[in-house]
Amino acid sequence: GAVVSQHPSWVICKSGTSVKIECRSLDFQATTMFWYRQFPKQSLMLMATSNEGSKATYEQGVEKDKFLINHASLTLSTLTVTSAHPEDSSFYICSASRTGRKLFFGSGTQLSVL
């Protein structure tokens, strides 16, 4: 099956620091990856679409300068939360598609900003 690896699983950081989250497609190439944010007991909120070799497309209301996305290769996309603040604390999840319409999700990253 298609495996999407996300790292780290959880991270605690101080307010004002930046945090990088990695999303890798382990057994397939993904030209497009997606980044979501999920609050407790809520649905997945699409933040941005990450395209290999080009700029990410952000959803309305998502701050581009706050959430930097880089899709440097066909198997790796990164999300950097810059100058993190407590309100950025959340569960972040990436997804990628191998073929067809199926999306495969990473295991998520729980970010806690103190």
Partner 1 sequence: QQQVKQSPQSLIVQKGGISIINCAYENTAFDYFPWYQQFPGKGPALLIAIRPDVSEKKEGRFTISFNKSAKQFSLHIMDSQPGDSATYFCAASTSGTYKYIFGTGTRLKVLA
Task: Give the footprint of partner 1 on this chain (CB under 8 A).
Answer: 4, 6, 32, 34, 41-44, 46, 49, 91, 93, 95, 97, 101-108, 110
Q: Which is nearer to partner 1, 80 or 110 (CB)?
A: 110
* 17 DSSP assignment: -
* Minimum CB distance to partner 1, residue 107 (Å): 5
**Burial of 110 from C-beta contacts in 10 A (0-12 / 13-18 / 19+):** middle
- 71 backbone dihedrals φ, ψ, rounded to 5°: -120, 75
User: 82 vs 98, which CB is nearer to partner 1?
Assistant: 98
Q: Taking the complex as a whole, how short is the minimal distance between the CB of residue 8 and partner 1, in angstroms?
A: 13
The full DSSP string for 62-79 is --TTTEEEEEEETTEEEE
Looking at beta carbons only, is 4 or 79 nearer to partner 1?
4
